[in-house]
Amino acid sequence: MANIGLALLGARPGNVGGGVLAAFEAAHDRYSAHVGRTLELRHILVRDASTPRAGVPAALLSTDFDAILADPEVHIVIEVMGGETPARDYIERALASGRHVVTANKEVMAKHGADLLATAAKHGVRLLYEASVGGGIPIISPLSRDLLANDITAVTAIINGTTNYMLTGMASGHVDYADALAEAQRLGYAEPDPTADVEGIDAAYKLAILCGLAFHVAVSPDDVARQGISSLAARDFRYADALGYAIKLLATARLLDGGLVASVQPTLIHRDEPLAKVDGVLNAIQIEGDLVGRVLFQGRGAGPGPTASAILADVLDVARDIVAGRQPTEAIQRRAVPVHAPGVHRSRYYLRVTVADQPGVLARISGILGDREISIASVIQFETDEDARTAELVITTHQATGSALDTALADIRALDTVTEIGNVLPMAG
């Protein structure tokens, strides 16, 4: 073939597609030199071809995906539309037609990745998705190749830049959730509807993808236990800091007793841990393997630039294979393992409890925790409301199962001397 033909699905200015297009045009000659063959952008699929797009040749614009599949000179399809529909269908049809596919679609890969990879293998093509997790952070390729000799024991990650920016602001600016969200939206880090980010849905998609690569298991995003960040208050960050901890939305997964435990939840991390120092919109992914120990990947996890970097790296990888005539290797088979309920996992916990400011309250709480074999590590009375005659206690525990804690919390809530259990967060590090 004279050229390697590309089709880009999605190119709205200011988003990932626009970033891919801008980067491709700026470095077209260099990319073609890397591959040893001219890369030719032949089609750009858009919703409305009549919308003006500065610098985009109108002749390349199309609203017809079938026309792209009908072009025999298209060898690589780049999907950056986002969302599950129609992206999943387009990816599957492109693979079945013998085209390689590069995607940044975390939702599609989290929900349907195993099936789509099987389709790619069946038709002798590649499906690459480095940009679906961590933006510009290289993690899919290292897990697929560089760390393959390791028995991976744990994945711990900060993989949503919006929430990490908000939590950094709450910690440093001593502001509450609503103010942190408003600032993130003003700067364009948070969407008008921030649900996917602040409720941990986005991070759960990414963690499901990482579980498939790290542990070679099939995991649905629905199997990932989730707790969002909206319950956090500015005082949680003050109290955590006084205890020597930061609060991060952590995505964690590990194999335990033949099954998998996976969760996304706000977690206290000791300030000496590297992940506690990952601030702003940065992402970080920590992998623990039997041969390498701990490895930390850190960088910008979102935005047109970092995501375009990962997408175009995958495009160049596939293009070099095409030029060299290399055939795709068989995908690693994923195994089915049970997904444990979060309650089986043991952790230390942080409890923020508002109680009546009177003698004997702590003894009753301690007795309930003790009955469930949960021992207290520390208790600090941080604030007292003299008018309401209440006090706020921060209790940290030694390791306990989540199920034991849930049972204890139900009994504590029933006490007539307990006004509110303000927050319950796991502690790591």
| 143-171 pLDDT tens trace | 988 998 999 999 999 999 999 999 999 99
Q: What is the pLDDT of residue 13?
A: 67
> Which has more pLDDT, 421 or 345?
421
Give the domain 3-135+304-324 fold: Rossmann fold (3.40.50)
Residue % of the chain over a pLDDT of 70: 98
> How is the chain split into domains, by residue range?
3-135+304-324, 140-300, 345-428
Beta strands in 120-173 (DSSP E): 127-128, 152-158
Q: What is the pLDDT of residue 174?
A: 85
Lowest-confidence segment of 16-25, 76-85, 223-232 by average pLDDT: 16-25
Interval 98-120 mean pLDDT: 95
Q: β-strand 259-270 against 418-428: which pairing, if any?
A: parallel
Say if 140-300 and 345-428 have the same CATH topology: no
Note whether 267 and 247 are within 8 A (CB). yes
Read off the tokens for 119.
Answer: 């389709």
Q: ∠ at Cα 225 (223, 231), nearest 5°? A: 155
Q: What is the pLDDT of residue 382?
A: 84
Lowest-confidence segment of 13-17, 267-271, 304-308 by average pLDDT: 13-17
Whether the per-residue pLDDT at 271 is higher than 80: the answer is yes
Q: 295: alpha, beta or left, given left = phi > 0 and alpha = psi -120 to 50?
A: beta
pLDDT in tens, 323-335: 999 888 766 667 7
Whether the per-residue pLDDT at 1 is higher than 70: the answer is no
Whether the per-residue pLDDT at 219 is higher than 70: the answer is yes
| Nearest C-alpha neighbor of 312 from the set 41, 13, 2, 1 | 41
> CA distances (Å), 105 to each of 21, 252, 342, in order?
17, 21, 27
Q: What is the pLDDT of residue 429?
A: 66
> Which has more pLDDT, 429 or 420?
420
Residue 202 pLDDT level (bands cut at 50, 70, 90): very high
Mean confidence (pLDDT) of the chain: 92
Q: What is the pLDDT of residue 378?
A: 96
pLDDT in tens, 361-410: 999 999 999 999 999 999 999 877 888 899 999 999 999 999 999 999 99
Q: Is 106 a catalytic residue?
A: no
The four Cα atoms 185, 187, 190, 193 give a dihedral, to 10 degrees, of 40
Interval 94-116 mean pLDDT: 96
What 8-state DSSP symbol labels residue 329?
A: P
Lowest-confidence segment of 169-178, 193-202, 272-281, 336-345 by average pLDDT: 336-345
Q: What is the pLDDT of residue 116?
A: 95
Q: What is the pLDDT of residue 332?
A: 65
Q: Beta partners for 383? A: 392
> Which has more pLDDT, 424 or 336?
424
Interval 126-136 mean pLDDT: 91
Q: β-strand 282-289 against 293-300: which pairing, if any?
A: antiparallel
Q: Which of 106, 111, 122, 206 is catalytic?
A: 206
Per DSSP, the three-state class of 221 is helix
395/14 Cα distance (integer angstroms): 46
Give the domain 140-300 fold: Dihydrodipicolinate Reductase; domain 2 (3.30.360)
Instruction: State the CATH class of domain 345-428.
Output: alpha beta
Write down how long the chain is.
429
